[in-house]
């Protein structure tokens, strides 16, 4: 910060999490598209295990056998504690130019993200909400400032006649941003605006971006608040190739909606955004809400979690894009990495933590 550099890792949990935790869980921050997931930022680590210290070399690339650094990244404390890390840092960006767009359909927004990643200019941040999340964001926003006020002004005059609607079955909001030197950011925006327009995007301008920046770390507080007042709420996340993305989205959404209803949680509310994008595909981040049934909160949540995870794996999604395995995902780990994969995780545990004292239960080891 004060030396003019940034790591560029800003997870939603920024106020509650640590560097060691980011590395241990293979996390991704909100600007992962520009700065990478934590595994792209981690150059070297020192992990203290019960059988000794594992220290990797600080070279920008190596070919000294299987990558031991990538065994430490994602190890979730099961093998040892990460006590030091050498990180790639970047010059702090001169400008962070974040803007908002509306798209009539999720497909049009996805086409923009894919085009930007495959043909450029790749953004620093991209966050495409489905219609449900777009509507919820506007409903939750304060009435008299930021995005809410902006949309209302535009809607009244113009937007509705152009076919953009901000109802749960309506338009999709895209937050798109470029960090960097002012002249380069300006050049990138000229091309990105063109691509958005070509795919039916309606520009909401910079104030939509500013409003998002202001509220970016607020969601963890909202979740705890909701849980405390009788609302079941949680998130699931995954990633897949562009080819499978829309089908994965539809199947996960349908499965969660059905499970909330089946568990007597009412009609429920399921909303999704795409927030980590690659040349080859993207992540999906889905939030679900329902009415909590007093006395069976945990079972009720498990039923939805189970349905969501089964849908993810059946439709070709990965078990976790950036939240790790922990204990909750252990039942599906064999389906994700196969029996040989599970055997590798277990033998690493037996070797590095023979007494089984390091964060027992995570990774299923």
Among 176, 239, 270, 358, binds its own copies (CB under 8 A): 239
At its nearest, how many Å lie between its own copies and the CB of residue 42? 12
Of 308, 362, 310, 360, nearest to 336 by C-alpha is 310
Which residue, 193 or 336, has its beta carbon nearer to its own copies? 336
Which residue, 153 or 241, has its beta carbon nearer to its own copies? 241
Which of the stretches 160-168, 200-208, 302-310, 318-326 binds its own copies when contact is defined by CB under 8 A? 318-326
Question: Judged by CB under 8 A, does residue 94 bind its own copies?
Answer: no
Site residues for its own copies, window 139-168 (CB under 8 A)? none
Site residues for its own copies, window 48-67 (CB under 8 A)? 49, 51-67
- 137, 75 contact by CB (below 8 A): no
Question: Judged by CB under 8 A, does residue 81 bind its own copies?
Answer: no
Handedness of CA 3, 5, 10, 13 (dihedral sign): negative
At its nearest, how many Å lie between its own copies and the CB of residue 173? 23
Is 285 an annotated catalytic residue? yes
At its nearest, how many Å lie between its own copies and the CB of residue 32? 8
Ordered alpha helix ranges (H), 12-92? 19-24, 32-35, 38-41, 69-72
Q: How far is CA 217 from CA 35, 212, 213, in A?
A: 18, 10, 9
Q: Give residues with Cβ within 8 angstroms of 62, minimum separation 6.
A: none
- 32, 179 contact by CB (below 8 A): no
Q: What is the DSSP string of 237-268?
A: EEEEEHHHHHHHHHHHHHHHHHHHHHTT--S-
Site residues for its own copies, window 282-301 (CB under 8 A)? 282-283
Q: How far is CA 361 from CA 77, 336, 349, 356, in A?
A: 10, 17, 11, 9
Helix 297-314 crosses helix 242-262 at what angle (to 10 degrees)?
A: 150
Which residue, 27 or 209, has its beta carbon nearer to its own copies? 27
Question: Judged by CB under 8 A, does residue 72 bind its own copies?
Answer: yes
Among 173, 212, 249, 278, binds its own copies (CB under 8 A): 278
Which of the stretches 101-109, 151-159, 256-264, 328-336 binds its own copies when contact is defined by CB under 8 A? 328-336
Among 274, 308, 319, 358, binds its own copies (CB under 8 A): 319
Which residue, 70 or 297, has its beta carbon nearer to its own copies? 70
Question: Judged by CB under 8 A, does residue 251 bind its own copies?
Answer: no
Report the C-alpha gap between 178 and 189 in whole angstroms. 8
N residues, the chain:
365
Question: Judged by CB under 8 A, does residue 348 bind its own copies?
Answer: yes
* Residue window 96-125: x/- pattern of binding to its own copies, with contact defined by CB under 8 A: ----------------------xxx-----
CB neighbour class for 91 (10 Å; exposed up to 12, middle 13-18, buried from 19): exposed
Site residues for its own copies, window 173-192 (CB under 8 A)? 184
At its nearest, how many Å lie between its own copies and the CB of residue 64? 5
Report the C-alpha gap between 219 and 260 in whole angstroms. 21
Catalytic residues: 285
């Amino acid at each position: 910060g004060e030396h003019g550099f940034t790591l560029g890792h800003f997870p939603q949990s920024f106020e509650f999490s640590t560097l060691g935790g980011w590395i241990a869980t293979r996390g991704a921050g909100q600007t992962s598209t520009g700065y990478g997931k934590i595994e792209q930022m981690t150059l070297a680590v020192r992990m203290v295990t019960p059988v000794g210290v594992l220290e990797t070399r600080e070279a920008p690339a190596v070919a000294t056998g299987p990558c031991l650094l990538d065994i430490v990244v994602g190890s979730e404390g099961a093998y040892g504690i990460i006590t030091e890390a050498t990180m790639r840092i970047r010059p702090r960006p001169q400008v962070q130019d974040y803007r908002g767009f509306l798209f009539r359909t999720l497909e049009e927004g996805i086409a923009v993200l894919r085009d930007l990643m495959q043909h450029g200019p790749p953004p620093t941040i991209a966050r495409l909400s489905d219609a449900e999340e777009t509507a919820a964001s506007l409903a939750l926003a304060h009435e008299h400032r930021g995005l809410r006020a902006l949309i209302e002004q535009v809607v009244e005059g113009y937007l509705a006649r152009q076919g953009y609607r901000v109802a749960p079955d309506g338009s999709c909001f895209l937050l798109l941003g470029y960090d960097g030197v002012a002249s380069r950011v300006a050049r990138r925006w000229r091309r990105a605006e063109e691509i958005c327009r070509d795919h039916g995007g309606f520009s909401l301008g910079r104030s939509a971006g500013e409003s998002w920046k202001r509220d970016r770390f607020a969601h963890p507080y909202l979740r705890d608040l909701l849980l405390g007042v009788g609302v079941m709420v949680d998130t699931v996340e995954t990633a897949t190739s562009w080819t499978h993305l829309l089908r994965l989205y539809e199947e996960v959404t349908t499965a969660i909606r059905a499970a909330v209803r089946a568990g007597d949680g009412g009609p429920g509310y399921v909303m999704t955004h795409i927030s980590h994008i690659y040349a080859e595909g993207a992540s999906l981040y889905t939030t679900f809400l329902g009415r909590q049934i007093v006395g069976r909160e945990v079972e009720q949540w498990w039923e939805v979690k189970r349905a969501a995870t089964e849908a993810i794996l059946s439709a070709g999604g990965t078990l976790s894009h950036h939240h790790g395995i922990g204990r909750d995902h252990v039942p599906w780990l064999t389906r994700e990495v196969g029996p040989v994969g599970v055997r590798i995780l277990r033998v690493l545990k037996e070797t590095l933590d023979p007494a089984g004292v390091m964060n027992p239960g995570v990774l299923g080891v």
